Amino acid sequence: MTLGALLGAAVTACSGPPPKSALTGVGTAAPARPSGPQRGFTLVASGDVIPYPTIMKQAQQDADGGGHDFRKLLAGVQPVVSAADIALCHMETPYGEPDGPFTGYPTFVSPPQVAEALKDTGYDSCSTASNHTLDAGAAGIRRTLDTMDRARLRHVGSARSAQEASKPALLRAGSATVAQLSYTYGTNGIPLPEGMPWAVNRIDPDRILADARAARRAGADVVVLSVHWGTEWQEEPDRMQLDLADRLTRSRSGGRPDIDLVIGTHNHVPQAYEKVNGTWVVHGLGDQVAGVMQDPRGNHGSIARFTFEPPREEGQRWTVKKAEFIPQMTDRGPPWRVVNLGEALRRDPGRDDYRRVRDGIRKAVLSRGAAADGLTMADR
Using pLDDT thresholds of 50, 70 and 90, give the confidence band for residue 17.
very low
> What pLDDT, on a 0 to 100 scale, did the predictor assign at position 33?
54
> What pLDDT, on a 0 to 100 scale, did the predictor assign at position 23?
39
CA distance 68 to 70: 6
H or E element, residue 341: helix 341-347
Cβ within 8 Å of residue 361, ≥6 positions away: 270, 286, 300, 301, 302, 327, 329, 341
CA distance 236 to 174: 35
42 versus 13: which is more confidently predicted?
42
CB-based burial label for 361 (10 Å; 0-12, 13-18, 19+): buried
Cβ within 8 Å of residue 186, ≥6 positions away: 131, 202
CA distance 127 to 237: 20
CA distance 270 to 289: 13
**Pairing relationship of beta strands 252-253 and 222-228 according to DSSP bridges:** unpaired
**231-257 average pLDDT score:** 97
**Pairing relationship of beta strands 273-276 and 125-127 according to DSSP bridges:** unpaired
3-state secondary structure of 230: coil
The DSSP secondary structure of 139-165, one letter per residue, reads HHHHHHHHHHHHTT-EEESB-SSHHHH
CA angle 227, 228, 231 (to 5 degrees): 130
**353-360 average pLDDT score:** 98
CA distance 149 to 134: 19
> What pLDDT, on a 0 to 100 scale, did the predictor assign at position 18?
38
Evaluate whether 174 touches 34 at the Cβ level (below 8 Å).
no
In order of start, what are the domains of the chain with their CATH numbers?
3-377 (3.60.21.10)
Using pLDDT thresholds of 50, 70 and 90, give the confidence band for residue 36.
low
pLDDT in tens, 101-130: 999 999 999 999 999 999 999 999 999 999
> What pLDDT, on a 0 to 100 scale, did the predictor assign at position 113?
98
Closest CA to 180 of 142, 212, 147, 204: 212
Using pLDDT thresholds of 50, 70 and 90, give the confidence band for residue 99.
very high
Q: How far is CA 113 from the centre of its chain?
A: 18
pTM flag (> 0.85): yes
> What pLDDT, on a 0 to 100 scale, did the predictor assign at position 315?
84
Using pLDDT thresholds of 50, 70 and 90, give the confidence band for residue 227.
very high
Q: Given a cut of 60, is residue 12 above it in pLDDT?
A: no
Percent of the chain with pLDDT over 70: 91
What DSSP state is assigned to residue 336?
A: P
pLDDT in tens, 37-77: 789 999 999 999 999 999 999 999 999 978 999 999 999 99
> What pLDDT, on a 0 to 100 scale, did the predictor assign at position 35?
58
Strand locations in the chain (E): 41-49, 86-91, 125-127, 154-156, 169-173, 176-184, 222-228, 252-253, 256-257, 261-265, 273-276, 279-282, 287-289, 300-309, 319-331, 337-340, 376-377
Find residue 273's DSSP bridge partners: 282
pLDDT in tens, 142-172: 999 999 999 999 999 999 999 999 999 999 9
pLDDT in tens, 288-317: 999 998 899 999 999 999 999 999 988 899
> What pLDDT, on a 0 to 100 scale, did the predictor assign at position 24?
35
